[in-house]
Structure 1
Amino acid sequence: MQENKTDLTKAVQQWGKNKGITDPRAQFMKVVEEVGEIAEAYDKGWQDKLVDSFGDVQVTLIIAAELMGVDYEASLAEAYNVIAKRKGHMHNGVFVKEEDE
């Protein structure tokens, strides 16, 4: 596992440990709950709640990743390196990968 953690990622991980968050499955369910809150906030036009919910998703993902043995920042970098080279087009407001056409 690559050590590429910002101070903020480390602080979130430590907060999770301090709070006794140890169950990867329960934490993943928390991720799903928080994503639902993004959808609700967006749908209802609640900008403050939208900002809060995006932050909550990040926190829950960082903790879930650590509990599952995944370096959050390394996985983000890997995903970006893949999408940076991706070709495709927009269709009805959604990016469609060239290989999915």
Structure 2
Amino acid sequence: MLDEMTQAIKHWAEERGLNNANSDKQMMKLMEEAGELSAALVRKDEWKTADAIGDIYVVITILAMQLGLSIESCIDAAYQEIKYRQGEMIDGVFVKEADLRD
């Protein structure tokens, strides 16, 4: 299902020329959506939280396109970096092992 949705997002972006738009503006849009997510979390609004997370996925999918990347390759690169990562939860935040030694 995610693959189908990602392809639909890409098609939607291409139809509107967003894939060739200014990536600086897309980055600003990402920060706007992150702010909306933060507000939704603070208000404990489950629907707005889910909507904001979805909006962020749309925005980063388009940002990747603008930069000549695919969201799939970006996700894979991030996972390859973290898949064996060790660390500890400290005050509810995962701190990677390398940062525990500093």
Same fold (TM over 0.5): yes
Q: Which residue of 1 aligns with 2:16?
A: 19
By relative contact order (CA 8 Å, sep 6+), the higher-ranking structure is 1
CA RMSD, 1 decimal: 1.4
State the secondary structure of the residue aligned to 2:68.
Answer: coil
**Residue range with higher mean Cα deviation, 31-40 or 18-27:** 18-27
Distance apart, 1:71 and its partner CA: 1.5
Give the letter aligned to residue 93 of structure 2.
Answer: V
> How far has the Cα of 1:19 moved from its partner?
2.1
Runs of 5+ consecutive residues of structure 2 not aligned to the other structure: none
SS at match of 2:69: coil
In the TM superposition, structure 1's runs of 4+ consecutive aligned residues that sit over 6 Å from their partners are none
Query: How much does 1:25 deviate?
Result: 0.9
Q: Deviations over 1:36-93 (max 9, x none)?
A: 1000000011111111111000000000111011211111012112211001111111
Q: Under a length normalisation based on structure 1, what TM-score does the superposition of the two structures give?
A: 0.88
Kindly tell me the number of residue pairs found equivalent between the two proteins: 97
Identity of aligned residues (%): 35
Where in structure 1 are there 5+ consecutive unaligned residues? none
Write the mapping of 1:1-101 to structure 2, written as runs, cut at 5 A.
6-21=3-18, 22-101=21-100
Structure showing the higher helix proportion among its residues? 2
- Cα offset, 1:8, TM superposition: 2.2
The two structures have a TM-score, normalised by structure 2, of: 0.87
